[in-house]
Amino acid sequence: MELDYIENVNGLDENIVRLYNFNKAEAILFRDLLIDTIINKRQKLDLSQVDFITPRNCNLILGLFKSDEGILTQDNETFFCILTLEGFENMVKLIEPFCLKETRSYQYLYDIDNPTDLLFSPSASW
């Protein structure tokens, strides 16, 4: 699994933080890590510290907040995905199909009016 940031992906100042190039086994590992670290333990998850994720040009830290804010950054290198508990529970549900079978489809992991989306894509495309 790899992690990167694509700026102005469509010419409309919309950006993507992308988790890509993974298989069913890594999707399961990522889902279980979200459940264990964020949902159960209520702790932050720093993806640069996860051995099966290779950061390419950025880092992503996921954590709980009182409202769903999506992805925020100050430097376009370190990104913070800040969601409510319900937001992360929904993210786990969106990841679930990737844990059941190999697929080339993709999924945005939240639906918030925010300039940066979080894309989950085993084949790196969307």
Q: Give the CB-side neighbour count of residue 27, counting CA atoms within 13 A.
A: 28
pLDDT for 104 equals: 86
pLDDT for 11 equals: 83
Which has more pLDDT, 64 or 125?
64
Does the pTM surpass 0.75? The reply is yes
Q: What percent of the chain has pLDDT over 70?
A: 100
Q: What domains, with CATH codes, occur in the chain?
A: 2-9+24-121 (3.30.1360)
pLDDT for 10 equals: 85
